[in-house]
Structure 1
Amino acid sequence: MAEVDWRVCDPARFDLLLIRTTWDYVDHEAEFLAFLDRAGRVAPVANDPAVVTWNLSKRYLQELAGKGLPVIPSLFVDEPTPASAAFEAFGAGEVILKPVVGGGGFGQSRLTRAQAEGVLIQPGQFAQPLVPEIMTAGEVSMIFVDGEFCHAVRKLPGGGDYRIHVIHGGGEHPYDPGPAEIEAAHAFVAALPVPALACRVDVIPTPVGLLLMELEAIEPHLFPTYGADLGGRMAQACGRLLA
């Protein structure tokens, strides 16, 4: 086993390529996709390049919503569009503008109606209402390995921010979801275009049920601190992929 940079990796040297911390793909989308295409021709890649390609653009949220799954409402645009359109669509007091290809809570803007005056949503962005429960209930991340639930963690924002990431001041806490929560999260896993070796379902608890924030299937942080048997599960899943 070796850790290698995808930029200089020769995929033919390996029996299996497991994508882990390729966080710079958001700035080098075309090169990353080209690498996955090359790699997939000579070795198994996890997650499957078809899943990664599908998951790269947040427009996958539209597909999941179209299947009737509970996703935070999202507005995507094909041309510069006044941010006021998002307020009209959602009836929300605040909206968040996010990159269509992005991660880690970076590149986002939080807008009130007054702040949205003159702001345009660009084609590389999309808008969502600020779900107020993110400030109190936080976000629950459920980890699945080989399609089976493994463990979960609750993430809460800090310092008045809405972002729950530690790098933005958020905090992490152990979480034990109930069967109904696991079942709800598993519905998103089942909706992937092809099965994932490992993925993470991020949901916000609301009075109307769990709403999907993100289904992370590229290089999901799996919160190993909270999953005692994560290593064993991952090893078994990799073994099955190679069998």
Structure 2
Amino acid sequence: MEHEAEFLAFLDRAARLAPVANDPALVRWNLSKRYLQELAAKGLPVIPSLFVDTPTPATAAFDLFGVDEVILKPVVGAGGFGQTRLTRDQAHGVLIAPGQFAQPLVPEIMTQGEVSLIFVDGEFSHAVRKLPGGGDYRIQVIHGGGDHPYDPSPAQIEAARAFAAALPVPALACRVDVIPTPAGPLLMELEVIEPHLFPTYGPHLGERMAQACGRLLA
């Protein structure tokens, strides 16, 4: 993320002037993808991740995960930018920097896509399915992906609710991004900084957000 320090300084200034949602402490927690480690430590089903404190051979990720492909991602980043997709052969000589982390490429992302479940004040609102396009694994529109309405199962909603409930500070609004797999949904991301809530697919989203903001300001 560019201008991280400036963003955090702005967040502090805003919090001194008016209520900020989501809570600035929660935003700070969510800024680094290391929050995935905390959620995994709670026993929640998160995509396995390798974070490093010193430059580490990318082959270590293949040894750890036992997979054919690995994705290197920025620890602070968004939108699918700054990522590198590697096979084991391509990984030789590549280092994972402390500002990066590694995850296995979950094959279901190519076929099942990613499901985003939107919560407002802890209550489920609606869901969206995002699919990659053009042979890419990234589901963002800017990378060729597309989004579609989605009717999640009760089990998917409850799994996503468990992630939302695990936040260190309750969120006014959050988006839980999971990949459906045969073993159940795996968390890709839990977004509370500036979550795109896909209002097109949530006919009652505006009303829910207004009510949540009213409770915040009461």
Return structure 1 stretches of 4+ with deviation > 4 angstroms. none
TM-aligned CA deviation for residue 35 of structure 1: 1.6
The Cα RMSD (Å) is: 0.6
TM-aligned CA deviation for residue 203 of structure 1: 0.1
Which residue of structure 2 lines up, in the alignment, with residue 44 of structure 1?
19
TM-aligned CA deviation for residue 103 of structure 1: 0.4
Which residue identity does 2:45 align to in structure 1? P
Q: Render the CA deviation track for 1:11-68: whole Å, top value 9, x for unaligned.
A: xxxxxxxxxxxxxxx1011111122122222311010001100000000000000000
Which residue of structure 2 lines up, in the alignment, with residue 155 of structure 1?
130
Q: Render the CA deviation track for 1:82-108: whole Å, top value 9, x for unaligned.
A: 000000110010000000000000000
Query: Structure 1 CA distance, aligned partners of 2:170 and 2:3?
Result: 25
State the TM-score, normalized to the length of structure 2: 0.99
Is it true that 1:84 corresponds to 2:78 in the alignment? Answer: no
Query: Structure 2 CA distance, aligned partners of 1:94 and 1:181?
Result: 26
- Where 2:91 maps in the other structure, the secondary structure is coil
- Where 1:114 maps in the other structure, the secondary structure is helix
Which residue of structure 2 lines up, in the alignment, with residue 116 of structure 1?
91
Please point out which of 63, 68, 76 is paired with 2:43: 68
Query: Structure 2 CA distance, aligned partners of 1:90 and 1:156?
Result: 24
Give % identity: 85
The number of residues matched between the two structures is 218
Which residue of structure 2 lines up, in the alignment, with residue 214 of structure 1?
189
Query: Structure 1 CA distance, aligned partners of 2:12 and 2:53?
Result: 27
Gaps of 5+ in 2: none
- Where 2:139 maps in the other structure, the secondary structure is coil
State the TM-score, normalized to the length of structure 1: 0.89
Please point out which of 35, 58, 62 is paired with 2:33: 58
